[in-house]
Amino acid sequence: MYKRWGKRTFDMAAAFLLLLALAPLLALVAVAVRLRLGRPVLFVQTRAGRGGRPFRLPKFRSMRAGAGDDADRLDRFGRALRATALDELPQLVCVLRGEMSLVGPRPLPMAYLHHYTPRQRLRCDVRPGLAGPGVAAGRNAIGWPERLERDAAYAAAPPRFWRDLRLLCATLRVWLAGRGVHAPGHATMPPFDRAG
């Protein structure tokens, strides 16, 4: 039942309720970003969705505008947004629209598509998620090969409600603890290439 229609129904209901419940927090974060970093409040990037189809993924902006690498443009405020994953909350709208799921492989840039092995490309067989196997396993602290293998294994298995619920809970624990925000030696995560 969950495989046929339950996952999408659960996504829509949960995203709608979360957007309602978190509306004051979303407004507060938007005001804080506007005051601290200026306009625009949202950073929007094209990412690969199900089947590799592009969609526009929004985040609250966490970096200052201007020249420099990520580490230079990421201040204490931006680090706090990323550590708590508050910058990701606008993606609940993508879940409601059907571009994303609550649980699935995290959506990655379109440029990464041609670097995937056939096994890694399995991650594109399902909707990308707000929470997922890579985040639950350690976020950006785990390397690309392990992260993409976890995504592929998730996509290859039939959807299961209890597995998704466990991944949601594990992701929430990672976010609340602020773990794995960056890869060792990087402000966020190094770009992916086939070498990993």
pLDDT value at residue 140 = 84
Q: Is 134 exposed, middle or buried (0-12, 13-18, 19+ CB in 10 A)?
A: buried
pLDDT value at residue 96 = 96
What average pLDDT values come out for the chain (196 residues) when binned by 10 residues?
82 96 97 94 96 97 76 83 93 97 97 95 97 90 92 95 95 86 69 68
In terms of phi and psi (left: phi > 0; alpha: psi -120 to 50; beta: otherwise), the region of 138 is: left
**Do 129 and 103 meet the contact criterion of CB atoms below 8 Å apart?**
yes
pLDDT value at residue 109 = 96
Going by C-alpha positions, the residue among 157, 147, 159 that lies closest to residue 112 is 147
pLDDT value at residue 177 = 84
pLDDT value at residue 35 = 95
Q: What is the pTM of this model?
A: 0.89
pLDDT value at residue 5 = 80
